[in-house]
Amino acid sequence: MEERRIPLSQAEGNTSLRLDRKVAVVTGGGSGIGRAIALKFAAHGAAVRVLDLNLADAEETCQQIAAADGNAAAYACDVTDRKQVKDTFAEVAAKGPLSILVNNAGISHIGTVESTTEEDFDRVFRVNVKGFYNCMAAAIPPMKVNGGGVILNLASVAGSVGLAERFAYSMSKGAAIAMTYSVARDCLAAKIRCNSISPARVHTPFVDNYLRKAYPGREAEMFDTLSKTQPMGRMAEPGEVASLALFLCSDEASFITGVDYPIDGGFCNLHG
C-alpha cells in the first residue's frame, strides 16, 4: 500500500492556535485560572465573554484584554442561578455565535465526610456541579444552531485520586469529569466537543489567601510543603493551564472529545 504523503503545510499545522471569529464564554474569569484562560484566548483572537459573580473582577480582566487590543465584555453572573445563566447566555448569543464555553467557576472546601456539614456539601454541589450543568444547558442549544462548538470543564486531580480532607470538593470534580464524558457522547452528532482538564495544585490568589488565613507566619513554609506534593516540586502556573485550554478549544484539537487531561506535575502517576 502506497504511503499517503502529507503536504508540508498540513504537517506543520497551525502552530499559532488561533481562535479568530470565535466567541468564548469563560465563567469565573475574574481571577486565577479563569482570568489566565480569558487573557490567553483573547491574545489568540477570541472574543471573550467574562462571567463572574464579582463584576468588578470580570471588568478588570476585560480591561487587561482591552489594553492589549483584545475583544472582551464582562457580565455579572451567578452560575447557580438557572434563570440568570440562561438570560446571560442569551444576551451573549444575541451578539455573536457562541463557539466555546469554559466552565471554570468553582469553589473549594476542606473536610472529611464526617466534618462536612450538609450546608457546605450543598454549597459545593450548587457551584461546582449545578453551575456546570446550568452553563452547559444554556450553551448547547445555540451551539447546535451554529453547527457545533467546544465545551471545556475545569475538573481536578481530586476527581480521580483520593485526597485527604477533600470530600465535597472531590465529589464535585468527579461529577465534572463524568458530566464531560456524558456530554461528549450525547453531543457527537451536533459537532460539539467536550473535554475536561484536571490540574493538581495551581498557584493562584486563592492559594495565597488560604495560606495567610490558615498558617499566619508560616506561609512560605507551607507553600513549599504544598509545592512538593507534586513530583516536579512546584505548583502549576495559571498560564500553563490556560495553554492546555487553548489547545483543547482550538481547531488543532478537532479530533479530541470525551477526554480528561491531567496537568499535575506527575501527581497522579509518579507518586511513591
What is the per-residue pLDDT across 20-40, written as a single tens digit (0 to 9) for each? 999 999 999 999 999 999 999
Q: Decide if 197 contacts 268 (C-beta within 8 A).
A: no
Residue 109 has pLDDT above 60, yes or no: yes
Q: For residue 101, list its beta bridge partners.
A: 25, 151
Helices (H), the chain: 8-12, 32-43, 55-67, 82-94, 118-125, 131-145, 167-186, 205-214, 219-227, 238-249
| pLDDT (mean) for 95-102 | 97
pLDDT bin (cut points 50, 70, 90) of residue 149 is very high
What pTM value is reported for the model?
0.92
Look-up of cell digits 440568570: 84
User: From residue 28, how far is each of 20, 159, 239 by CA, in Å?
Assistant: 22, 19, 15
pLDDT: is 241 or 12 the higher one?
241
Instruction: Please give the CATH architecture assigned to the domain spanning 18-200+237-263.
Output: 3-Layer(aba) Sandwich (3.40)
pLDDT over 70, % of the chain: 93
Domain chopping of the chain, boundaries: 18-200+237-263, 202-235
Residue 60 has pLDDT above 50, yes or no: yes
Catalytic residues: 169
pLDDT bin (cut points 50, 70, 90) of residue 11 is very low
pLDDT over 90, % of the chain: 85
Which three three-digit cell numbers place residue 26? 469563560
Q: Decide if 148 contacts 141 (C-beta within 8 A).
A: no
Q: Decide if 202 contacts 236 (C-beta within 8 A).
A: yes
Q: Which residues contact 270 (CB under 8 A, 6 or more apart)?
A: 231
| pLDDT (mean) for 115-136 | 98
pLDDT at residue 267, as a whole number: 87
| pLDDT (mean) for 147-153 | 98
**Burial zone of 120 (CB within 10 Å; 0-12 exposed, 13-18 middle, 19+ buried):** middle
The string of DSSP letters for 61-120 reads HHHHHHHTT-EEEEEE--TT-HHHHHHHHHHHHHTS-EEEEEE-------B-TTT--HHH
Residue 186 has pLDDT above 50, yes or no: yes
pLDDT bin (cut points 50, 70, 90) of residue 2 is low
pLDDT at residue 270, as a whole number: 86
pLDDT bin (cut points 50, 70, 90) of residue 8 is very low
pLDDT at residue 10, as a whole number: 47
| pLDDT (mean) for 48-64 | 98
